[in-house]
Amino acid sequence: MQTTGPSLTGVRLVLAVTGSIAAYKAVGLLRLLRREDATVNVVMTAGACRFVTPLTFEVLSGSHVATDLFEAHQEMLHLSLPEQAQAILIAPATANCLAKAALGLADDLLSTMLLTTQCPVIFAPAMDGDMWRHQTVVEHVATLRRRGAVIVEPEEGSLASGRLGQGRLADEQRILSALQAAVRPRRDWTGRRLLISAGPTQEAIDPVRFISNRSSGKMGYALAQAAQARGAEVLLVSGPTALRPPAGIEFCAVTTAEEMRKAIMTRFAWSDTVIMAAAVADFRPAQPSAQKLKKQQHPVTNLKLEPTDDILSELGARRTRQVVVGFAAETEDLLAHAREKLQAKGVDLLVANDVTAAGSGFGSDTNRVVLLNRDGDVTELPLLPKRDVADHILDRILALQTGRRSQTTRPRTRTPRKE
């Protein structure tokens, strides 16, 4: 398969191999990295050496393979290897290695190196599906992500145990793309202005109660962060969420659908792209009470609702040069509802997801979405971390703006069936 990102000419890497049954796949990965012209130092844990010999990596990398923290060497390897590297790629990464990295244990060469390194660290975990889903592993992965590590999620399929599940080492090309992005971050949104909404809105019933929805804001925040990392100026208009405003991004906190509408419309002319990722309430109480309603007042039976303004339709109608992107959270007939919404709202791109699907939708760190554009293209993305979904959406918007299809994604695109 053709690689799409920049090559790794002049890039010095550490490839760390740990004791997973997938350790043999690191041999293919090393060959790929060498073909991409990277200079690679290989580090192996004692566990990894039980699966593949250091000699294999030594021959293919053309340099000494470090396996021992206490190995006699002119330099202290746990300091010198990370110092010289532009990235450390751990592939495959065992559950044990993730745990040690998250906890800061330093009882072998690799784990000690991870405490001294300043460069990007990319983990490509591989393990049994039950291990990957184990709460301890989930928490360690979240800790590492929070600290800035890149996690190339394992893929679903048949595992070494013969069972089916998520745990297979990610495809070589996905690992390579993550590595390329870490060492040579893309700046292809430089000079663009993105207005993005995220999170739910809250519509007051009385001073203590409100109507809202389950949106966590994670997808919108991931989009804002991805666009900023790629060079965009970003304004994030957010309903109430548990997330911290991302650093370096202009942030506007709102509560109600009306406040969100005002904030978006005020800055619409400034933007060249608008992504409405917020789950804006469709209805609000027609007459919110100024005082807390008492039980005896039967607020539930008396609650009258009125529709809120349709921000997305307004944007679709008002836009001049802007690309407008909407989201559709559905629970049934995903494609049919998404197509209707795409037409009805006059947007350029619709991101649809079934919020009831496993690993998808509100609150989850992953999402499985379908992208629909006005030419009738339907692109299904696999289940991915929300940050990866964000990058795919940004790729697609750039492609729309430049009038060509994104070259950086590997999703399936198909022409829709006649229904």
Ligand X SMILES: Cc1cc2nc3c(=O)[nH]c(=O)nc-3n(C[C@H](O)[C@H](O)[C@H](O)COP(=O)(O)O)c2cc1C
Stretch that binds ligand X, among 45-53, 287-295, 355-363, 407-415 (CB under 6 A): 45-53
**Under the criterion CB under 6 A, does residue 271 sit at the interface with ligand X?**
no
Give least dist CB 33 to ligand X, A. Answer: 20
Number of Cβ atoms within 10 Å of the Cβ of 213? 17
Give the one residue of 126, 183, 252, 398 binding ligand X; rule: CB under 6 A: 126
Contact with ligand X (CB under 6 A): which of 8, 43, 95, 276?
95
41, 67, 94, 225: which one binds ligand X (CB under 6 A): 94
Q: Which of 95, 208, 105, 89 is nearest to 149 (CA)?
A: 89
Residue 143 CB-density burial (10 A; 0-12 exposed, 13-18 middle, 19+ buried): middle
Cα–Cα distance, 105 to 83 (Å, whole number): 19
**Of the listed pieces 125-133, 321-329, 377-385, 408-416, which binds ligand X according to CB under 6 A?**
125-133
Instruction: Give the contacts of 382 (CB within 8 A, at least 6 positions apart).
Output: 368, 411
Cβ proximity to ligand X: between 21 and 265 the closer is 21
Catalytic residue among 41, 96, 213, 373: 213
The answer to whether residue 45 forms part of the interface with ligand X (CB under 6 A) is yes
- Residue closer to ligand X, measured from CB, 47 or 382: 47
- Give the nearest distance from C-beta 166 to ligand X in angstroms: 12
C-beta of 126 vs 281, nearer to ligand X: 126
d(CA 228, CA 207): 36
Q: Which of 85, 88, 97, 260 binds ligand X (CB under 6 A)?
A: 97
Q: Which residues pair with 193 in a beta bridge?
A: 233
Of the candidates 186, 152, 174, the residue with the CA atom closest to the CA atom of residue 1: 174
Structure tokens, 221: 């925040």
Q: Which of 67, 86, 96, 322 binds ligand X (CB under 6 A)?
A: 96
- Residues 131-160 interacting with ligand X (rule: CB under 6 A): 131
CA dist 139 and 142 (Å) reads 5
Pick from 3, 4, 12, 21 the residue near ligand X by CB under 6 A: 21
* Rounded to 5°, angle at Cα 157 from 155 and 160: 100
Binder among 5, 11, 15, 18 for ligand X (CB under 6 A): 18
CA-based nearest residue to 113, from 16, 8, 27, 22: 16
- Residue choice 3, 31, 32, 47 for contact with ligand X (CB under 6 A): 47
Residue 228 near ligand X by CB under 6 A: no
Q: From the CB of 243, what's the least distance to ligand X, in Å?
A: 30
Q: Is 213 part of the annotated catalytic residue set?
A: yes
Question: Alpha carbon of 227 to those of 23, 101, 191, 350, 390: distances in Å?
Answer: 34, 28, 11, 18, 8
Q: Which is nearer to ligand X, 52 or 357 (CB)?
A: 52
Q: Considering the complex, state which of residue 5 and residue 19 has its C-beta at the smaller distance from ligand X.
A: 19
- Alpha-helix residue ranges (DSSP H) falling in 39-171: 46-51, 54-61, 77-84, 95-103, 109-116, 129-133, 135-146
- Per the structure block, which two tokens stand in for 87? 């990235």
Contact positions toward ligand X, by CB under 6 A? 18-22, 45, 47-48, 94-97, 126-127, 131
Q: Which residues are catalytic?
A: 213
